[in-house]
Every structure is written in structure tokens, then in C-alpha cells.
Chains A and B, each alone.
Chain A
Amino acid sequence: MRNVWTIANREYKLYFSTPAAYMIAAMVFLVIGIIFYANINYALIQQFAPSAEIVIGPLVTILIFASPAITMRLMAEEQRLGTMELLLTAPVRDWELIVGKWLGGFLFMLTIIAVTLIYPLVLNRMVDPGIDQGLLISGYLGLLLITSALIAIGVMVSSFFSNQIAVFFATLGIFLVLWLISTPAQAVGAAGGELLKFFDFSEHFYNTLYIGIIDLADVIYYLSITALALFLGTMSVETRRWR
């Protein structure tokens, strides 16, 4: 476990010394800020009290695009720099390496998400008698769970290739497929549709966590995806040794 923390700590700190991470964070805040402003204006015109959904809704979509940029270098860069040889000959287990990488990326994403809490706080002061706290908590819990799964998938894909551009687009592709997979649900019949819905990222979010319902099944779904991706990432490192 100590190795996991050592690796995660290095990754987390490294984000703060690279311009790329600041650019990604700035993009997230900029887009969220613009959408927040637009939503407040809209609410003023329409005369209704907005809830935390106006922050959480767009934030999920932005995270899907930002996460691949955060995770693409995690394993691919080690491969390119030759430092993979360093890590694989150090007394570190393969799973510790993968989990450490995931934790580093996850903590950085968490930092970005924590900063966005500013918007619900501002909103809370603007609306009378304040926003729905339960909805805020379940919404942000959903964000954490989704981020956990996204970062895990990102680390996994990053361990497949050494080209970061390839990693970025492969990761984004997987995210979009997972996000939209239930779209043709009605066309494939009842059983197939249910299956697609089961695997869909958004189905486990918009129907429950987003509207203030915490269902254990959704929590388990996201945690399972995280665990599966980390397991496959570990396998990928192990097979790399045999090549």
C-alpha cells in the first residue's frame, strides 16, 4: 500500500508542475463558469429557482472530455521515457503501480471537482431559502463515482499504447460509447435494450444520483467498472513483461 501512495503522490504533484494540467483545469472552470452564468440569466428571465443540477449536469459532460487528457500520459509516458524499466525492476507489484497511477489521476480530478463546489455555494446564497442539499450531495457523489471509473479506464488504455495521442482518442472513444450505449436500446428489443441500459454510464447517473436518489446498485456499478479496468490494466502490464 505504501508503494501505491508513493506513486500516487508523485503523479499528483507532477500535475502541478506541468502546463497541460493547468490548461485542462482552466478549460473546465471556463466552460462551467460560462454555462453557470447563462443558466442564472435564464432562471432570472423565467422566474424559477435553479438547483445544483445546473452545475452538476454540464460538469459530467465536461469530465468525459477532460479525463482522457488527464490520464493519457500516466502509463504511456513511462513507456516512452523508458522509465517503465525502472518501475518494473523496482520492488513494486504490478497492481500497486496501476492503482498508484489511478489514485494520482483520481486525486487530481478530485481537486478540480472540489473547486467547482464554489458554484453551488454561490447559488445557495442567491436562491431563497437555499438549494436542495440532498441533491447536491448525491450529485457530487455521482461525480466522484463516475470520475473513479473514467480515470481507471484511462489508466488501462494508457497501459496499452505508448503513443499519447492514440491513448487520448481510444479513451475518449470508450467513454463516448459507454455514455451513449443505451441510445439504440428501444431498437434492439426488450432484453437487449435492458442489457445496453445496464452497461450505460448515463443510465446509472441521470435516473438516480442526478435527481437525488442514492441507489446501492449504481454505486456498485461504478466501483465494479473501476475495479475491472484496474484489473485489466494490471494484466496489460504483466503481459508486457512476456513480450
Chain B
Amino acid sequence: MIQVEGLTKDYGLRRAIDDLTFNVNKGEIVGFLGPNGAGKTTTMRVLCGYMPPTAGKASVAGFDIIEQSLEARRKIGYLPETVPLYPDMTVFDYLKFMADLRHLPEAEDRVDDVLEMVHMEDRSGGYIGNLSKGMRQRVGLAQALIHEPEVLILDEPTIGLDPVQIHEVRNLIREIGKEKTVLLSTHILSEAQQVCNRVLIINKGKIVVEDTPEELQARLAGGRRIAVRVAGDPQGLDQLIANIPGVSRVLGVLTNGIDFETDPGNDVRPEVARKLVASGYDLLELKPLGLSLEDIFLELTKEQNEEIEEREEDELEESEVGELEQDEKDEQKEG
């Protein structure tokens, strides 16, 4: 349904996406993961016909996004990151306007249908300017669904929603994904795990990994991370932990504890607790550290960097990771 080949987009001198190639099949929900500024939004904008790519080509529902832009746009429902709404219109008028732009017959019935889908029937006469952020998000989603598009492109669809709404929206996406094609971007790994059939992780405009969420998790859960917090001076703690069988490496010593990684399939926590208490440390906390998207991401880019290292000697890794973090911080500030 979505075919992307060598897609590249430059903003002036900065390359936002770099030679992206991927496919999304009919009836598939694909998650687009990556840190801020990785190129997720740019890719989606290019696919939706908002702006043309610098190089490469892409087609949606069989229509080339440049040559047959209008036809492609007819097949796409798009929810941008900043929900595009007119605050001085009522919910109903806004959706009716979108339905009219798409030449829907019996537009008013269709508006009622989508309002029901996003549970907003009771607010249809209210002004958009008076809605809460979660409601606006749902109106934006309704707008993307109004013409029953074959391809749904959602840029962070659950951002700003409360937990109940997030649950509802995810169910809705899963429901839609049975027949239609969905491409959604997210920061949240668990969201991708729950909703998507496949995950694309993108960094600096390049695809780092393409896999099912289960395999991705399995691949990365090879090592388990555990955090230990003690009262008082953690001196000598690293020695002690490193000598426990099953501990593969110490990740870092903090002022109040230590983080370490264990071999797979080996729960060392009881042993660690016993050793700590026996050695006179005041154990405050002992807990497994879940792998966040950030960890997975750092892990994956580290792998990438290690490959480079093999070719180009040492030193790259540190600076690359440092740069990454810096980039991320910068982007958050900008955002």
C-alpha cells in the first residue's frame, strides 16, 4: 500500500531523511519509532503530499505521490503532529468542511458516524476553541477518518490523551488496521508493541531497524538490567557485584548505588541481596530496569557505531552517543 524507495529530503543544508526504503502492506499497522528530529514527521509529510521529496520516489495506494498527488491524497487520511483545527468553528462545521473538501455524498451522516467513532457526539455543536487537548486530538482523528481512507497516516496519535482515551484510540487503530493500512509514529515503545505488526526505528533520517515488536524486544532483552540503591557510601560495591556469578558487567556506579547487567535466564537478585547485606551495606532498593525506547535506541545505535568502529578504529562511539544526546536535548528545547 505504501511503497517508499530511496526517499530523501533536505531542508537547506540539513538532510532530514536520507535514502529511506520501506514498504507497508495492506492490512498492516506499522509503527515509526525514533527520537525527536529523526525524520518521522518529515517522512509522513512527504507521503501525504505536503511537500515533495528532494530525491527518491514513493507511492501510496498505487499512486505516485508526485505525479498523481491528488489521487494519492484522496486515499490518505492524515493526522499531523499539531492537530490542524479552526478554533472558531464548531466541531460539526469543521468536519462537514473536511467532508465537503473530499466530495463525500451525504456528508452530514458521515460526520455523525465519525463523531460516534471517536465518542464526540455530544460535543458536535461546541466550538473547537473550547475543547480540551484530548478532545481536539479526537476531532483531528475524526477528520482523518472521515472519508474512510485506505491508508491512515497518524503522527503521534495518542499524545495528550488520558489513559482511557489512549486505550480507546489504540483499540480504534487496531480495528481500522484490520482492513486498512496504518502508518503511525510514536515515542512510546509499549504503544508500538500493543498496536503495531511491525516497527521501523529511524535515526538521523535512516532506518536503523525493521522488525516485529516481539522480536525486537526479544533481541534486546538478552541482558537484564538491575539497579541497586544503598544508604551511605557505595565504595567497593562494584567489586562485590562484579564477583557475583551471573553478573555480566557493571554499567555505572552512582553516589547512592550501582546499575549492572546480568546474563540472560539467570535471576541473581536473591544472591545480590544476600551478599550486600552480609557485607554490611544498607540495602534500600533492588529493582530490574525496564528497557525504554531510549535504551533500545541507544543500544541499537551503539551496535551501529560498533560496526563503524570495526572499520575505523576506536573513539567514535563516545562522541557519537554524546552528540546524539546533545541533538536530542537541542530538539526538545526547540520543540
Contacts and interface: CB of A to CB of B under 8 A. Distances in A.
Given A89-B48, A90-B73, A91-B73, A83 B84 contact: yes
B262 to A, nearest CB: 47
Interface in A1-54: 2-3, 6-7, 10, 14, 17-18
Interface string A84-99: 1110111111000000
A239 B48 CA distance: 17
Interface residues of B, number: 29
Given A10-B97, A83-B86, A241 B51 contact: yes
A10 B70 CA distance: 21
A91 B50 contact: no
B283 interface: no
Contacts of A14: 86, 88-89
A88 B85 contact: no
A93 B80 contact: no
Contacts of A90: 73, 98, 101-102
B74 interface: yes
Contact of B52 (A18, A81, A82, A242): A242
B104 to A, nearest CB: 11
B279 interface: no
B52 A6 contact: no
Contact of B70 (A86, A93, A243): A93
A85 B73 CA distance: 12
Given A14-B89, A241-B51, A241-B52, A92 B84 contact: no
Chain A facing B: main interface SS: helix
Interface string B302-324: 00000000000000000000000
B101 A3 contact: yes
B70 A18 contact: no
A82 B98 contact: no
A241 B50 contact: yes
A243 B98 CA distance: 26
Given A2-B103, A3-B101, A90-B102, A85 B70 contact: no
Contacts of B78: 89
B88 A17 contact: yes
Contacts of B52: 241-242
Q: How large is the interface on A (under 10, 10 to 19, 20 to 34, 35 or more residues)?
A: 20 to 34
A88 to B, nearest CB: 5
Given A3-B101, A6-B101, A81 B74 contact: no
Interface in B77-100: 78, 80, 82-89, 97-98, 100
A83 B86 CA distance: 7
A220 to B, nearest CB: 32
A6 B97 CA distance: 7
B101 A85 contact: no
Contacts of B82: 82, 85
Nearest to A14: B88
A7 to B, nearest CB: 8
23 contacts: A14-B86, A81-B86, A81-B87, A82-B82, A83-B84, A84-B84, A85-B80, A85-B82, A86-B80, A86-B143, A88-B50, A89-B45, A89-B48, A89-B76, A90-B98, A91-B70, A91-B74, A91-B101, A91-B102, A92-B101, A241-B52, A242-B51, A242-B52
The 9 closest A-B pairs by CB, nearest first: A86-B84, A83-B84, A89-B48, A6-B100, A82-B82, A91-B73, A91-B74, A241-B51, A85-B80
Given A81-B85, A91-B71, 10 more contacts: A3-B101, A6-B101, A10-B89, A81-B84, A82-B84, A84-B84, A89-B48, A89-B73, A91-B102, A242-B51
